[in-house]
Structure 1
Amino acid sequence: MRSLRTPRVLALVTTAPLLLAVAGLIHPRHLTAATASLWAGLHIVLLPVFPLLVLGLLVPVRGRPRRDVDGALTVISWAGCFCFAAYYSGLDAVAGISAGTVVHHGVHGAAGHLFAIGDQLGRAGVYGLAVAALATCAVLWRRHGVRVLPGAVFLFAACWSFVDSHIFWPKGVITMIGFAVAFVLLALAEPRPTGDALKPEGLANP
């Protein structure tokens, strides 16, 4: 199985949170007639990016789940990631694209209702992400022990902050950077391959 401690894997798990952090630097703080076009357009661009945040949780537990505790925890992680991808995309669509569009066209009274629905969807998504984070960390704890703790601390802090931060500057940007740091630390929790592990199959010492 390919090691997680490679630049390609580390780039894979950090690209989404870092892109979201950059987007947070230009995300309007408030939805107004002047910012509505950027508000809606930014959420259209980010619609496929938010679901990719789960790669940082799925990649470390990659592979077909076994029929044991690790396998059950892996399935729970998958389910939590699916919940996040579905419901947080709903937040983007409702409170991002829809709210920005109606305000841009002068229908200001609808934005508050869209925000209320979007907030509910977003919280459901983040709760799903938190469940996935807990399950992934449990699997990695069983595999690597205390090496998982630094990444888990950053991960749970980021999940807690994400409940009400979205990607707004400054809290949301810091939250996304926290996810990126957590994903790197979780990947690096995997011990370095031994000499035999680096050999092609069949060349290891008998």
Structure 2
Amino acid sequence: MLGSRWLRGLLFALPGLLLAGFGAVHPAVLDAATASWWAELHVLLLPVFPLPAVAQWLLLTSAPPWLRWPGRLAAFGFAVFYGGLDAVAGIAAGTVVHAQHGATPVVGAVFGVGDLLGHLGAGCFLAANALIVFAAISRARWRAVPGAVILLGASVSFLDSHIFWPRGVVTMIGVAVGTSWLSLAGARPDGGETR
């Protein structure tokens, strides 16, 4: 059914689109004026950041086990480490700056931990997407190539753009388009997976 096929594509695009929307309202800098919103925004993001990992997990469903399980482990790593970044550099840093009425050396230490978690999470995101791309091209051939190129490009950009405006927002839109495209490239017209 065509409707369910396009609904599938929309559902796979949704995590990236949500993150792009949050990125558009993310403060550019953390200071006394933005600290409260910074912390609140990252509380709102807690249930959103794991959603790309869910999409990755599902995109790996029809992959051979030797791709599926390392890919799912990387997706899990993304959810864990990037969730840690959100909690530390988002909620904790925003709370510290708000309580101290400005940035202090404590915030630098908090960001140091958050940056490490973010780099690990973004690396896991890239690894999972590389395995997804390999599986999708193996299965769907040329139909997967545009989505693969977009998703890999966005995954590399995500290593340092995160969701910050403007590049991070464009990156998340790329993730949305790439995951949606790959979900459609590997789907049969009846909504099932091609093998």
TM norm structure 2: 0.89
Q: Contact between 1:90 and 1:121, CA under 8 Å: does it hold in 2?
A: yes
Matches within 5 A, 1:16-95: 16-62=15-61, 70-95=64-89
Q: Deviations over 1:7-57 (max 9, x none)?
A: 332222111111111111111000001100000000000011011012332
Which of 108, 116, 137 is the aligned partner of 1:120?
116
The residue number in structure 2 matching 1:201 is: none
| Contiguous gaps of at least 5 residues in structure 1 | 198-206
Task: Write the letter of the residue equivalent to 1:39.
Answer: W
- Give, in whole Å, the separation in 1 of the partners of 2:4 and 2:150: 18
Look up the SS of the partner of 1:168 in the other structure.
coil
Which of 156, 168, 175 is the aligned partner of 2:171?
175
- Give, in whole Å, the separation in 1 of the partners of 2:2 and 2:67: 21
- Give, in whole Å, the separation in 2 of the partners of 1:101 and 1:14: 31
| Contiguous gaps of at least 5 residues in structure 2 | none
Between 1 and 2, higher relative CO (CA 8 Å, sep ≥ 6) is seen in 2
Larger radius of gyration: 1
Percentage identity across paired residues of the two chains: 43
- Give, in whole Å, the separation in 2 of the partners of 1:62 and 1:3: 21
Look up the SS of the partner of 2:50 in the other structure.
helix
Evaluate the alpha carbon distance shift between residue 156 and residue 8 of structure 1 in structure 2; reply closer, same or farther with a 3 A threshold: same
Residue 189 of structure 1 deviates from its aligned partner by 1.2
Evaluate the alpha carbon distance shift between residue 160 and residue 129 of structure 1 in structure 2; reply closer, same or farther with a 3 A threshold: same
Q: Contact between 1:4 and 1:10, CA under 8 Å: does it hold in 2?
A: no
Matches within 5 A, 1:189-204: 189-190=185-186, 192-193=188-189
Pairwise CA RMSD of aligned residues? 2.1
The residue number in structure 2 matching 1:97 is: 91
- Give, in whole Å, the separation in 2 of the partners of 1:174 and 1:62: 27
Residue 61 of structure 1 deviates from its aligned partner by 2.6
Residue 174 of structure 1 deviates from its aligned partner by 0.4
| Segment drifting more, 144-153 vs 185-194 | 185-194
Q: Number of paired residues?
A: 189
Q: Contact between 2:23 and 2:165, CA under 8 Å: does it hold in 1?
A: yes
Q: Contact between 2:8 and 2:184, CA under 8 Å: does it hold in 1?
A: no
Q: Contact between 1:18 and 1:177, CA under 8 Å: does it hold in 2?
A: yes
